[in-house]
């Protein structure tokens, strides 16, 4: 058996964040009937099953500009003269190989011409590969011994390459577009854009957390349905009786503060840009963004409490007081956090709260 999973698939924090986003796309495929089970950090980075037929999926991102995968580099051994240490050999080795097995090499850049022969669109089957390319891989991986009477040619015949978005953000954008109709159907009404983003963030965090557990996470359609329901409940404020609180748009919340619709639309755009930047952040950068957002949220809560106590009038006065206090945060006044970023964080927090500058009547 090879070292699982994929012998180093999580070699960079950005690499595994990308892998988690791809895992979500596979779960959405399962939700639409393509698979009967999806697991991650299992015998491979991702394993999708249709009944007893596995599709072993290895994610290999490239973060160096101008570099692309080719037959030569995916067959190149990590240890000289040990072809079993190459990317492709690791994908083929160390797992059961029933007759309906498929192998998927997932990349974020279009590969070189020879390896491009294996490229397919998500959910589709690839065209035949030229024999010259097939034979080249067999020669390069000579000496790799497979179980159950299989050989490298058998594996190559079942290999496909899936080119996903170049960046995490592009993969997440695809997931967002697919989540929209799903969330709408479950809610019975169109969700707010920020709600779909919250669902995406929660699902991504759940996948990332499960990837760290000692036992691989295996999810069936009903399991993922439960994950969806929980994410939607957290994002939209579902009441205990199962109904959903009215979804108030950011533009409507800002309208009570005297902000015109076109100006409010600009605030929404800035909030969404901030959410994308937050999802792309890692480590200390993410912690700094969260710490600043906590300060802004604390100011919002304080102003809201003063408003409800009658000390600050509702509407434009409450909004102005909130802006003034946010702009007075030391990180903003010193220039560590830009004024534009501070306003975007405030818009994001406002978008995700039911009431902010005036209570619903």
Residue range 241-252, pLDDT digits in tens:
455 555 577 888
Q: Report the C-alpha gap between 43 and 23 in whole angstroms.
A: 14
Higher pLDDT, 140 or 352: 140
Beta carbons of 265 and 251 less than 8 angstroms apart: yes
C-alpha 79/C-alpha 291 separation (Å) is 44
pLDDT of residue 10: 40
Task: Tell me the DSSP string of 31-52.
Answer: HTTS-SEEEESSSSSEEEEETT
Mind listing the pLDDT tens digit for each residue in 27-42?
999 999 999 999 999 8
More confident residue, 236 or 186: 186
| Percent of the chain clearing pLDDT 90 (strictly above) | 56
**DSSP assignments along 156-209, one per residue:** HTTEEEEE--SSHHHHHHHHHHHHHHHHHHHHTSPPPHHHHHHHHHHHHHHHHH
Higher pLDDT among residues 127 and 188, named by residue = 127
Task: Tell me what the mean pLDDT of segment 190-209 comes to.
Answer: 86
pLDDT, mean over the chain: 87
Q: How confident is the model at residue 159 (pLDDT cuts 50, 70, 90)?
A: very high
- Could you tell me which residue, 102 or 195, shows the higher pLDDT? 102
Residue 96 has pLDDT above 90, yes or no: yes
What are the percentages of helix, strand and coil residues in the chain, rounded to 5?
Answer: 50, 10, 40
Tens-digit pLDDT profile for residues 308-352 = 889 999 999 999 999 999 999 999 999 999 999 999 999 988 887
Q: What's the pLDDT at 194?
A: 77
């Amino acid at each position: 058996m090879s070292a699982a999973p994929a012998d180093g698939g999580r070699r960079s924090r950005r690499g595994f964040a990308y892998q988690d986003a791809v895992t979500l796309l596979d779960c959405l495929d399962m939700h639409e009937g393509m698979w009967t089970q999806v697991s991650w950090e299992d015998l491979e980075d991702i394993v999708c099953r249709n009944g007893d037929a596995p599709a072993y999926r290895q994610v290999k991102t490239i973060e160096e500009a101008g570099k692309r995968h080719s037959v030569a580099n995916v067959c190149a051994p990590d240890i000289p003269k040990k072809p079993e240490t190459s990317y492709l050999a690791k994908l083929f080795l160390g797992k059961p190989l029933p007759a309906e097995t498929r192998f998927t090499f997932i990349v974020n850049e279009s590969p070189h011409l020879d390896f491009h022969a294996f490229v397919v669109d998500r959910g589709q089957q690839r065209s035949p590969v030229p024999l010259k390319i097939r034979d080249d891989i067999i020669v390069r991986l000579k000496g790799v011994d497979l179980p159950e009477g299989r050989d490298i040619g058998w594996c190559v015949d079942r290999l496909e390459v899936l080119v996903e978005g170049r960046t995490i953000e592009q993969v997440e954008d695809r997931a967002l577009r697919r989540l929209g109709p799903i969330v709408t159907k479950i809610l019975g009404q169109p969700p707010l854009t920020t709600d779909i983003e919250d669902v995406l963030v929660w699902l991504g965090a759940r996948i990332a957390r499960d990837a760290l557990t000692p036992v691989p996470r295996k999810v069936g359609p009903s399991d993922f349905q439960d994950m969806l329901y929980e994410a939607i409940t957290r994002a939209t404020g579902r009441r205990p009786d199962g109904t959903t609180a009215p979804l108030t748009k950011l533009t409507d919340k800002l309208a009570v503060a005297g902000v015109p619709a076109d100006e409010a639309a600009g605030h929404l755009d800035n909030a969404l840009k901030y959410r994308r930047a937050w999802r792309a952040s890692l480590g200390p950068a993410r912690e700094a963004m969260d710490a600043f957002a906590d300060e802004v949220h604390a100011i919002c809560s304080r102003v809201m409490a003063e408003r409800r106590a009658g000390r600050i009038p509702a509407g434009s006065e409450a909004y102005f007081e909130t802006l003034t206090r946010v702009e007075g945060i030391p990180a903003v006044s010193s220039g560590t956090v830009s004024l534009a970023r501070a306003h975007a964080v405030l818009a994001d927090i406002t978008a995700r709260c039911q009431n902010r500058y005036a209570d619903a009547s």
